[in-house]
Amino acid sequence: MAEVGRKRIVITGVGGLCAIGANADEIWDSMRNGRCGLKPLTFDRRDLKVNIGGEIPVIDDSSIDARQRMTMGRFSVLSSLAAKEAAAHAKLDLVALDRQRIGAIVGVAVWGADAVDESYRDVFLEGKKRANIFTVPRAMPGAAAAQVSITLGLKGPVFGVSSACASSNHAICAAVDQIRLGRADVMLVGGADTPMQYGILKAWEAMRVLARDGCRPFSDDRDGLVLADGAGMAVIESLEHARARGAPILAEIIGCGMSADANDIVSPTVEGPAAAIQACLHDAGISVEAVDYINAHGTATRANDRIETQAIRSVFGRHADRLSISSTKSMHGHCLGASGAIELIACVNAIQHGIVPPTIGYTKPDPECDLDITPNVARDRSISVSLSNAFAFGGMNAVVAFRKYQ
**Residue tagged active-site, from 89, 170, 241, 297:** 297
Query: Which positions ≥6 away from 203 have C-beta within 8 Å?
Result: none
Strand partners of residue 402: 253, 386
Strand partners of residue 375: 359
Q: Spell 198-209 as b/e; 16+ CB within 10 A means b.
A: bebbbebeeeeb
Which runs of consecutive H residues, i.e. helices, occur in 7-158?
A: 24-32, 66-70, 74-89, 113-120, 135-139, 143-152
319 belongs to the catalytic site: no
**Residue tagged active-site, from 89, 170, 334, 335:** 334
CA-CA distance, 107 to 232, in Å (whole number)?
A: 10
Q: Can you spell out the DSSP letters for 231-299? A: EEEEEEEEHHHHHHTT----EEEEEEEEEE--S-SS---SHHHHHHHHHHHHHHT--GGG--EEE----
CA-CA distance, 7 to 69, in Å (whole number)?
A: 37
Q: How many CB atoms lie within 10 A of CB 163?
A: 23
Cβ 387 vs Cβ 277: under 8 Å: yes
**Residue tagged active-site, from 18, 36, 165, 369:** 165
297 belongs to the catalytic site: yes
332 belongs to the catalytic site: no
CA-CA distance, 112 to 136, in Å (whole number)?
A: 9
Positions marked catalytic: 165, 297, 334
